[in-house]
Structure 1
Amino acid sequence: MKQFLSFLKSRVFLIQLGLALVVLILFVFLALKWLKSSTNHGEFVEVPDFSKMSVMDMRKAVEDAGLRYQVLDSSNYNPDYPRFSILDQNPPAGNKVKANRKIYFTVNPSGYKKVTVPDIVQVTQRNASSMLRAVGLDVQRVTYIDELGRDMVYRMKYKGKHIKPGDKLPKTSKIELICGNGKIPGSARVQADSE
């Protein structure tokens, strides 16, 4: 133990320790200089506002700003924005970012997504309306025909054409319901006089 303590106090050890500290300080200094130059420390690009811009215009603006981009999945259709325009961006406009930073965009699709028409045949008009609203469809009007089930849905129409359960329609489409009025159809009436 005495030899170890005397070595720690020796001139050779102190010179080695001093050299190690000088090399360490020099290494840290050079590493920080290299990082500053390679990461463009203090150099920023302001992110432009891309909202409502078309995808083609956005591509050019991103390249002009020295940035990169990635288009994320399109979100739900927003009728307040043009088709195929930018709905959202991350990072937001006005943020300062490094050159060549990737900007993430959400694009407005060309229209509402398609939804499946639920099976509302032989369901009451009230329940059918609720089921249609649940999937994003609306009732445009209700037409009554001579059928025994009062307010029972017998058929559906979209833009004048008959549709069936399972068909795909754009979300927010308006459907015409054809329901019974509670009267027995003419061909099924039994005449009391016929006896």
Structure 2
Amino acid sequence: MSLIKFLTSKDFLKQIILAIIAVVVISFIMLQWLKASTNHGEFETVPDLTGKSISVAELELKDNNLVMQIQDSANFNPDYPKFSVIDQDPKSGTKVKENRKIYLTLNPSGYRKILVPNLEDKTFRLAKSTLEALEFNIGKLTYKDNIGKDIVLGLSHKGQPIKPGDKLPKTSVIDLVLGNGNRP
């Protein structure tokens, strides 16, 4: 039998029609299964959890059929209570599927501690820029008789002397003792 006669035969046409029907039926069944298994058209709204404690956030997420995933944070925000939610992903009001993970960033218990650099015998200008780069705050400036004008002679925090290598929380106020340029 030649190829052209085979392609125009009744047997070949029956097979093509059966194959097309099978593809349509299988596609229909697959689409119905996907619709049922993915809850097509059903969404949960992400609640606003900003500023809420972990336990309250967990309850709200469970009520909305969502899952909580906690992420660490080193960014302390004094505007929020300790261990409260400071950020979430996806944002509140977003429509998501049931059992979606909601990633929460928590406010740590305080600022992280940073090593105090060695600033003795450095200029005030260098000390100031170094401390500000580390996010410390410059406090009171005290001058002492020393031939080096504006040279750092010592550091203190809350009236207590500090030395290089001590750890202080970020944004701590550091007082400086500087030379006034007069001979002792």
* Mapping for residues 23-102 of structure 1, pairs under 5 Å: 23-102=22-101
1:167 maps to 166
* Mapping for residues 136-175 of structure 1, pairs under 5 Å: 136-175=135-174
TM-score w.r.t. structure 2 length? 0.95
**Structure 1: where are the runs of 5+ without partners?**
186-195
Higher Rg of the two aligned structures: 1
Alpha-carbon RMSD across the aligned residues, in angstroms, is: 1.3
Amino acid at match of 1:20: A
CA offsets 1:19-69 (integer angstroms, 9 cap, x no match):
111111110000000000000011111111101111121111111211112
Q: Do 1:115 and 1:136's aligned partners in 2 also have CA atoms closer than 8 Å? A: no
Total equivalences in the alignment: 184
**Structure 2: where are the runs of 5+ without partners?**
none
1:108 maps to 107
Percent identical = 48
Distance 1:48 1:103 in 2: 10
CA offsets 1:75-109 (integer angstroms, 9 cap, x no match):
41111111111111111111111110111111111
TM-score w.r.t. structure 1 length? 0.90
> Runs of at least 4 residues of structure 1 off by over 6 A?
none
Amino acid at match of 1:123: K
Distance 1:141 1:89 in 2: 39
